[in-house]
A and B are shown apart, each in its own frame.
Chain A
């Protein structure tokens, strides 16, 4: 249960907002849930709703609206390649395709061992360092910039080692 395990962090998060505005803590709490469970489970949804004092449906609308929250499990690591215009002008589409080919999957798919989901994402504000991908997992998000397929595979091998 989040409420017990993260008692201090939850209290510190709530303290950032006015006492009568607990709902503001819903986004940070969803990040907490995601790092605990890997994605926002039904149970987590109810827990967060209870802590901030809103209906689970309202929390679900937040999960659905914001693209960094997931209501289902993906690969242990999400490898998210920016394929928006400025990156694409510097070869990001080909980079994404070639990287997928290395793992025998298509963009948006998960590797058979459940380790990686490789997907396209919207602009991550690193246009001058394309090709770029962000690795998202339970620990958070890390950017990897100025990538080649070879360097990306190396990063992914290291992630795999970390589990």
Chain B
């Protein structure tokens, strides 16, 4: 199929400016700047049905329309923090299709009346940023960025800002704090960024994949975009497929493809022909779904996945085969969230700390069935009590696994009913010293 976001897979060398220009690159940006009004651009994106691809799935055009009017400055920020375990699409976009992302950022900046845009990239993308910086310099040299673009009174520049290893900075207000040179701790909302964002000014903040869709939507129109995908989920989604599949990787597919097609047709199935036991649809923070035929035949679009009690989110599909012990999976996810909690809200900071203690106790052979209940109780108390979604993210896999796979946890308890089940295929992980600060 024709790719929209991963267009470099159809057009070799698309990361070179000349190739990008030869394929209509920056014509849309030029047309927008020289002949359109910002509201007209917003109208097209709104009508296209494009939704945020970073996870929240909020309608993009609507988000832009919320910008407070008549303020002295506006900003556009692209969220390339990409830190959710299981997500690796934005990196491919930046490496292989950088100009389409940059054109998306630039069209968005025009629509938002912003003269400055920032692309916030996680610090680990340091080598990617080095290359992307040269691409931006090329655009300045060729007159696509700078003052009075194409002889109009519109000026624009784009800069990169590197994070330094903090998952929380993927949360939009924490990300803005980080650009301002502060610790990445989320802000109380409202006010939302569209009113008071970067440096207190109205700010549009969108994910990398979202903005990479924009040039083609504006070039080809909302109707074209709506013709791809299904109702309420227009367009394509880059599915990041990882875990127990033969061909892990990014697959850009129209919404409406089934999970079975993604795992078996595109991902080449499960190694050794094993059965799929569980799947997480949007990375480590998602509901753990027990996989049945019904789940495998689920259409991957925002509404259908929500109907199964999960969320499509960033479509970071982690596949786990029948050998996996879910209590081990939750030890992994909890260790991640304990490390990444920013420490601002007590339930998240303390809850993750204690959940990890309980899980480590269970995995050391010292835990009891009462510990499994305690885990459930602590997780339940974090729910709904934190400023940003991280707290919620951390307990979502815990609570859903306890519901669907309670036996995996009970089997770890030293007072579990005998005989003990066969030992899990995964070795008991040790406490791992992690880089940086715990």
Chain A residues within CB distance 8 Å of chain B: 16, 18, 21, 23-28, 30-31, 52, 54, 61-62, 64-70, 78, 80, 83-86, 88-90, 93-94, 96, 106-108, 119-130, 134, 140-143
- Bound Cα distance A66, B165 (Å): 5
CA distance A30 to B427 in the complex (A): 39
Whether the pair A126, B91 counts as a contact (CB closer than 8 A) is yes
Check if B249 is an interface residue, CB within 8 A of chain A. Answer: yes
Contact of B433 among A30, A78, A108, A126 (CB under 8 A): A108
Instruction: Specify which chain A residues have a CB less than 8 angstroms from the CB of B84 in the assembled complex.
Output: 123
Given A65-B342, A108-B433, A125-B87, output 17 extra A-B contacts at Cβ < 8 Å.
Answer: A23-B182, A24-B181, A26-B181, A30-B164, A52-B181, A85-B284, A85-B336, A86-B86, A86-B242, A86-B243, A88-B429, A89-B242, A107-B430, A123-B86, A127-B248, A128-B248, A143-B124
Tell me which residues across on chain B come within 8 A of A78, comparing CB atoms.
435
Of the candidate stretches B22-30, B155-163, B211-219, the one touching chain A is: B155-163
Chain B residues whose CB sits within 8 angstroms of the CB of A90 once the complex forms: 242-243, 248
Docked complex Cα distance between A126 and B82 (Å): 10
How far is B122's CA from A46's CA once the two chains are assembled, in angstroms?
A: 25
Most B-side CB within 10 Å, residue of A54, A108, A140, A141: A141
Let me know if B240 is at the binding interface, CB within 8 A.
yes
- A148 to B83, alpha carbons, bound, how many Å? 24
Q: Are B166 and A66 in contact (CB under 8 A)?
A: yes
Is A128 in contact with B88, judged by CB distance below 8 angstroms? yes
CB distance from B10 to the nearest CB of A (A): 20
Residues of A within 8 A of B162 (CB): 27-28, 31
- Cβ contact within 8 Å between A23 and B435: no
Q: For window 309-329 of chain B, which residues contact chain A by CB distance below 8 Å? A: 316, 318, 320, 324, 329
Q: Report the Cα distance A122→B90, complex, angstroms.
A: 17
Contact between B181 and A128, CB atoms less than 8 A apart: no
Q: In the bound complex, how far is the Cα of B184 from the Cα of A122, in angstroms?
A: 17
Q: Which of B91, B127, B181, B430 contacts A125 (CB 8 A)?
A: B91
**Which residue of the partner chain, among B83, B126, B324, B329, contacts A122 with CB atoms under 8 Å?**
B83
User: Is there a chain A Cβ closer than 8 Å to B220's Cβ?
Assistant: no
- Residues of chain B within 8 A of A94, CB atoms compared: 427
Please report the C-alpha to C-alpha distance between residue A124 and residue B432 in the assembled complex, in whole angstroms. 17
Name B107-153 residues within 8 Å CB distance of A: 122-127, 130
Please give, as numbers and ranges, the residues of chain B lying within 8 Å of A128 by CB-CB distance.
88, 240-242, 248-250
* Interface bits B408-438 vs A (CB < 8 Å: 1, else 0): 0000000000000000001101101111110
CB-defined contacts of A21 to chain B, threshold 8 Å: 180-181, 199
Interface residue B100 (Cβ < 8 Å from any Cβ of A): no
Find out whether the CB atom of B324 lies under 8 angstroms from the CB atom of A89. yes
Contact A107 B432 (CB under 8 A): yes
Contact A84:B85 (CB < 8 A) given known A67-B437, A89-B320, A142-B127 = yes
A126→B84 CA distance, assembly (Å): 11
Judged by a CB distance under 8 angstroms, whether B237 is at the interface is: no
* Contact across chains for B124 and A120 when beta carbons are under 8 A apart: no
Query: Could you tell me if A89 and B318 are in contact, using CB atoms closer than 8 angstroms?
Result: yes
Closest to B284 in A: A85
CB closest residue in chain B, given A71 = B437
User: B124 to A141, Cβ gap below 8 A?
Assistant: yes
Contact A67 B432 (CB under 8 A): no
Check: B167 CB closer than 8 A to any chain A CB: yes
- A107→B318 CA distance, assembly (Å): 25
User: Do residues B436 and A123 form an inter-chain contact, with CB atoms below 8 A?
Assistant: no
- The distance in angstroms between the C-alpha atoms of A84 and B250, with both chains bound, is 18
In the bound complex, residues from chain B placing their C-beta under 8 Å from that of A69 are 164-165, 436
Q: Provide a sorted-by-A list of 5 A–B residue pairs whose CB atoms are within 8 angstroms.
A: A69-B436, A85-B85, A108-B432, A120-B433, A128-B88
A24–B180 CB distance below 8 A:
yes
* B183: interface (CB < 8 Å): yes
Q: Is the CB–CB distance between B336 and A122 below 8 Å?
A: yes
Q: Which residues of A contact B165 (CB under 8 A)?
A: 66-69, 121-122
B339 interface hit (Cβ, 8 Å): yes
Which A residues lie within 8 Å of B329 (CB)? 85
**Complex alpha-carbon distance, A105 and B430, angstroms:** 15
Given known contacts A21-B199, A84-B85, is B332 in contact with A67 (CB within 8 Å)? Answer: no
Q: Are A84 and B240 in contact (CB under 8 A)?
A: no
Q: Is B333 an interface residue when CB atoms closer than 8 A count as contact?
A: yes
Given contacts A127-B86, A127-B240, whether A122 and B434 have CB atoms under 8 Å apart is: yes
Which residue from B124, B161, B199, B427 sits with its C-beta under 8 Å from A124?
Answer: B124
Take A24-B180, A123-B336 as given contacts and tell me if A68 and B164 are in contact as well, using a CB distance cutoff of 8 Å: yes
Contact of B435 with A66 in the complex, beta carbons under 8 Å: no
**A-side contacts of B164, CB under 8 Å:** 27, 30-31, 66-69
Partner among A24, A25, A65, A124 whose Cβ is within 8 Å of the Cβ of B184:
A65
